[in-house]
Structure 1
Amino acid sequence: MRKIDKYIGYNVLIGILMVLFILVGLFVFFDFIDEVDDIGKQQYGVWQAVLFVTLQTPQHIYELFPTSVLLGSLLGLGAMATNHELTVIRASGVSVLRIARSVLQIALPLTLLVMLIGETIAPAGDQYAYNMRSVAQADNEYISFQSRYGFWARDKNNFINIRTIQHDGGFGAIALYQLDDNLQLKSLVLAKSAYYENGVWQLRDVRRDTLSADAIRLETLEKLDWGAVLNPALIKSVIVSPEKLSLTGLYSYIKYLRESGQRDEPYQLAFWQRITYPLVSLAMIFIAIPFVFGSLRTVAIGQRILVGALIGIGFHILNQTAGNVGLVFNMNIIASALFSPILFVLLAIVLMRRLI
C-alpha cells in the first residue's frame, strides 16, 4: 500500500509543481512587463525591476497554490486515469477515499510549507520590494518607507506619517512634522483625515502646534492645505494591502485599529481568509477527485485544464464576492470568510458520496 501511496503522491506532486511553476512564471512575466514602463525613472533600472518582480514571487506562490493544487491534482490523477492505472488500483481493492488519503499525504505538507512562506518570506519580500521601488523612483529630496507604525515619507524638511487608508480614497491619522533649515522641529500638524485634490493635500480636523523659542502656539483648524511632492498613488503602492500581510501583522494592525476607534472589518476578513487557507486547499483536492473518477476520466488533458481553471476562477469570484458582501452589509466576518471554502467542501463531499 505504501508503494501505491508513493506513486499517487508522486504523480500529484509533479502535477502541482508543474502547474505552480507555469502560473507563477506567467505572473512574474506580466509583472515585469508592467515594470518596463517605469524603467529609467530616476535610479530605477532593469536590475531594480528584476529584483522587484523576484521579491514578489513568494507572494504569487502563496496566492496561486490553491489553484495549482486543483489543476495539478486533475493533471496527475487524470493522467493515471487515462492510462487506466486508477482502474487497476481500484480493482485491487483500493477505495476512492484511500486514494484521496494518498493525495492528502503529499498535499498537506505542501500546504503547510506554502503557508510558512506566506507568513514569513512573502510579506517581508513584498514590503521590501515596494519600498525599494519607491525609493529608486523618487528624487533625492523624497524618501519613503513603511514600518509597523504606518507609512513614513520625507519631503525636503517635512516628515509625514500616515497610519491608514480610508475606504473613500482618503487617508487617516496623519502626522506632519515640519523642520527648519537647522533640522529643528518648527511645527507639528495632526489631522484625522487627508484628501489629495488638484495636486494639493487637504488636511481635515487639524490641530497644529507651532514652536518658537519661548512659546508653543496651538491652533485648531477645520481644513488646512499642504503642497507636497507626495501623492496618493505612491502611498498606495508602498502600503501593503491587507491580503499581503501576515497573520501576526494583521492581528497587530487590527488591535491598533480597535484601540484607535477605526474600522477594522477589511483586515478581519483578510485575517480569517488566511486562517481558512488550508481549508481552501483541501476543498480544491476534494473537488478534483470526483471529477477525475467521474466525467473527466476519459477526456483530453486540455479539457481537464479548462474545467479546473473554471472551477478555480469560480471559487475565487465567489470568495471575493462573499467577503465584499459581508463588508457592505456588516455581516459576520468569520461567516463571510468561511462561506466559500465550506460550500466547496460540501460540494466535494456530495460528489464523493456518489462515487463511494
Structure 2
Amino acid sequence: MSPWIKRVDLLVGLTVLGWVLMTWFILVGLDTALQFMRQIRFVGQNGFTVSNAAFYVFVTVPRRMYEMYGSAALIGGLLGLGGLASTGELTALRAAGMSRLRIAVSAVGVVAVLIVGVVIMGETIGPWGDQQDQAIQMRLRTGSMDVGQNGLWARDGDRIINAKQSILHDNDGHAWVQLIDVNVFTLAPDGELSRFDHADNAQHIGSQWILGHVRSSVIDDDGVHSTTRAHERWASQLDPDVLEKSMIQPQYLSMRDQLRNIHYLERNHENSTAYASPFWGRVMYPLNVLVLMLSAMPFAFGTLRSGGAGRRIFLGILLALTWYFGQKAIVTFGVVYGLSPMLANLFPATLTSVLAWGYFRQLA
C-alpha cells in the first residue's frame, strides 16, 4: 500500500463511496421517474408512443447523472462522515492523530476519482443523448422536422431544408436562432429536383427569414443556371420559436461544440456569452464539485455528530441549493457587469475554497 494512502484513508474513502453511489442512484432514479411521467402526457401526439417516451428518458440519463453528481457527492459525503461521527470512529481517528483536513481529503479523494468518469460521460454520451432528445422534441412539436448527425432536416411545402448547424444567440436577454450552412432543395410536381440553393447562414429578422451569401442553381430543359447574391429574402414557414425551444441548450453541449460556436460568433464579431458562460461552467465543474464537498466537511466534525440520517440529508440538500443559487447569482451578476465568463465562474469556487481552507487552518 502506498505510504500516502493508509488503512484509515481506505476506511473513510470506502464509507463515503458507498453513500455517494447510493445517493447518486436514488437522485437520478427519482428524477428519471418524474421525467418519464411527464413524457407520458405527450403519448399520441404526432405519433409519439410509450416506447418513444422510454427512449427519451433513457438517452437523457447520462446528462442527469452528470448534473446530479455534485449533489450526490455532497449528500453522500455528509451521510458517510456523519455515520462515522455518530459511531465515534471520527473521534477515534482524531485521537490517533489524523487531522480534520486529512480526513476531509480522504473523503474528497474518492469523489475526485469518480469525477473523471463523470466528466468523460458528460462530454461524450451526455451530449449524444441530448441530440437524440432534440430530435424527439422536434418531431413532437412539428411532425415535420428532424435533427440528426447531419444537422436539421425539415419539409417546407415542395422544399426540403437542411442546415448543418444551429447557433443560439443572446441579444439583451432575447434568444434567437441562426442556421449555418443551409441547403434548400426545391422539388418539381413530378418529384424531380428543380432548384438548389445554398446559403452560408439564415436568420429570422422581423417577420421574415433572410439568407446570407446565397448561391442558387435553377435546373430546366436548357441546363443549370447559377446566380450568387449577398442576401435574399426567404419565404419559409420554419417557426423560429419552435427552433429555439427545440435546440440543445448551450449548457448541454460538449465543451468542443461550445468552443466551436464561441469561435464562430467571435469571428463574426458577435456576442458569445450564451456559449462562453456555460463553457467555463463546464471547465470549472470538477473544481466546483470538489470545493462544494470540501466546504461541507466541517459539518461532519460538529453538527452531524448527533442526529440521524434525516438531519444529514436535509443539511446536504440545503447546502446544495444554497451553492446552486448562490453560484448562479454570482456568475450572472459578473457577466451582466462585464466580468469575463471565466472569472465569473472561477470566483464562487475560489471564495468557497478560501473559506474552507481558513476553517481547516484555524482548527489544525
Residues 232-247 of structure 1 aligned to structure 2 (within 5 Å): 232-247=240-255
Q: Look up the match of 1:164.
A: 167
Cα pair 1:38 1:44 within 8 Å, conserved:
yes
**Are positions 1:184 and 2:169 aligned together?**
no
Normalized against structure 2, the TM-score is what? 0.85
Q: Look up the match of 2:295.
A: 287
Cα pair 2:203 2:210 within 8 Å, conserved:
yes
Alignment length (residue pairs): 347
Render the CA deviation track for 1:275-322: whole Å, top value 9, x for unaligned: 111211211221121111123322332222222212111111122222
Distance 1:225 1:180, change over 3 A: closer
How far the C-alpha of 1:59 sits from its partner, in A, is 0.4
How far the C-alpha of 1:173 sits from its partner, in A, is 4.3
Identity %: 28
Render the CA deviation track for 1:145-179: whole Å, top value 9, x for unaligned: 144x7544333423152632222233224646140
Cα pair 2:204 2:240 within 8 Å, conserved:
no
Distance 1:211 1:57, change over 3 A: same
Unpaired segments ≥5 residues, structure 2: none
Residues 306-345 of structure 1 aligned to structure 2 (within 5 Å): 306-345=314-353
In 2, distance between residues paired with 1:72 and 1:95?
Answer: 21
In 1, distance between residues paired with 2:194 and 2:17?
Answer: 59
Cα pair 2:176 2:244 within 8 Å, conserved:
no
In 1, distance between residues paired with 2:54 and 2:331?
Answer: 33
Pick which of 115-124 and 129-138 moved more: 129-138
Q: Look up the match of 1:66.
A: 70
How far the C-alpha of 1:327 sits from its partner, in A, is 3.0
In 2, distance between residues paired with 1:36 and 1:179?
Answer: 37
How far the C-alpha of 1:216 sits from its partner, in A, is 4.5
Specify the code of the residue in structure 2 equivalent to 1:42.
Answer: N
Partner of 1:73, secondary structure, is helix
Pick which of 154-163 and 37-46 moved more: 154-163
**Are positions 1:55 and 2:50 aligned together?**
no
In 2, distance between residues paired with 1:207 and 1:110?
Answer: 48
Render the CA deviation track for 1:186-227: whole Å, top value 9, x for unaligned: 263756521586xxxx2247676473646456677786553x
Distance 1:184 1:5, change over 3 A: same
In 2, distance between residues paired with 1:265 and 1:185?
Answer: 41
Cα pair 2:32 2:57 within 8 Å, conserved:
yes
**Are positions 1:276 and 2:296 aligned together?**
no
How far the C-alpha of 1:111 sits from its partner, in A, is 0.9
How far the C-alpha of 1:86 sits from its partner, in A, is 0.6
Normalized against structure 1, the TM-score is what? 0.87
**Are positions 1:193 and 2:218 aligned together?**
no
Partner of 2:134, secondary structure, is helix
Q: Look up the match of 2:257.
A: 249
Cα pair 1:75 1:304 within 8 Å, conserved:
yes
Unpaired segments ≥5 residues, structure 1: none
